[in-house]
Structure 1
Amino acid sequence: MTISIRSAQEADAMLIARLHFHTWRETYRGLAPQAAFTAVTEEVRLDRWQRMLARKGGEQTILVAEVDGQLAGFGMAGPASHEIFQSRAEIKFLYVGAAFKRRGVGRKLLLHLARHMKEAGYSGVGLGVVAGNSPAITFYDGMRGTRVGNYTDPGPIWRSDNHLYVWEDLPALVAQEEERSF
């Protein structure tokens, strides 16, 4: 199995939207309110990804992970959207399709996003994980993230309770990527 990471292109919008839609629904079943499931359709996701990919650049990075040429996951990082992140970058999305979980895709995406944020001048990175998302919490604990607080995501449909995970030392986190490269 070969995992490759590359910058997302506008032509990836449909595949990212589809993976985001299905993975989000699987992940948040039992956590998100029905109103969120009703409002967030595949078309809504597609529109949002088309807009984000059309204006990407600056400090924002959107990456896709492919396994043997098939979209396996995606991630996005950039300037923080909530004051709890302080001066850290924020990993805003990190999703891996069900067929590719526990195969190193999420790890590789996280490390590549961290490298991009280090190159953008950040010394630390953080992300929010919805309270109750046990698989993600286990993953971030395994990646040596430190849970430093909680906050409510002000999202337009669902105000989710989140745990803040941070990595204060981006060079050390990025070194994990380099260690696996040998």
Structure 2
Amino acid sequence: MTQIDTSILIRRGRREDAANLAKLHVDVWRATYASLAPVEAKTLLDEARRLPYWQSALVLQEPGKGVWVAVDADEAIRGVISFDASGHPAFEGRREIKHLYVALDAQGQGIGQRLLQMAISECRTAGACGVALAVVRQNALARQFYKKMGGVEIGGFTDPGPLWRSDNIVVAWDNG
């Protein structure tokens, strides 16, 4: 059973969080995909490349769309989740979890669970028919986590990039 760290606060992301979110994103992505992604993709994904996404995502937040962060007592960001409408047909109208990252040294403390539960709840409250995300097929740990969290694998697609063509599984949490 995961030990929940109750000292972690979940709050809306703020514009001033963008640089720290870009760093967290790159650090966790590189560690997660160290043996899965091509070297070129790992080289090209850096903080400068991710910063514009986080700056943009933090501007307009509303029910069913936004960025939430997990912070410790010192306001250090320990995790992040971003979600929005999806334009990809594989999501079949569900809201999309765009990113879910937990700092490497904070994994296993329930932060990912809390962030995911919060995003699903917010999307449902905003009237979404469900929530889904794409996970790289070979990312067995993430797939196990999503299954444990009640996600159902409903399909897949090949993501064309921009950094790497990856084989993805769509995991969904439908309103029931």
- Give the TM-score normalised by the residue count of structure 1: 0.87
Taking the aligned partners of 2:126 and 2:84, their CA distance within structure 1 comes to 9
Secondary structure, aligned partner of 2:58: helix
Q: What is aligned with 1:14?
A: 19
Gaps of 5+ in 1: 173-182
Q: CA deviation at 1:81?
A: 3.0
Note the aligned Cα RMSD (angstroms): 1.6
Once the two structures are superposed, residues 98-134 of structure 1 have per-residue CA deviations (whole angstroms, 9 ceiling, x without a partner) of 1111110000000111112112210211111101111
Larger relative helix fraction: 1
1:90 counterpart (96, 102, 121) = 96
Gaps of 5+ in 2: none
Maintained 8 Å contact 2:81/2:98: yes
Percent identity, aligned pairs only, is: 38
1:149 counterpart (148, 155, 158) = 155
Once the two structures are superposed, residues 58-107 of structure 1 have per-residue CA deviations (whole angstroms, 9 ceiling, x without a partner) of 74211101133321110111111310111211111111111111110000
Alignment size in residue pairs: 170
Q: CA deviation at 1:37?
A: 1.2
Deviates more, 1:67-76 or 1:137-146: 67-76
- Give the TM-score normalised by the residue count of structure 2: 0.90
Maintained 8 Å contact 1:61/1:116: no
Q: What is aligned with 1:176?
A: none
Secondary structure, aligned partner of 2:98: strand
Maintained 8 Å contact 1:91/1:125: yes
Once the two structures are superposed, residues 31-50 of structure 1 have per-residue CA deviations (whole angstroms, 9 ceiling, x without a partner) of 11112112111211223322
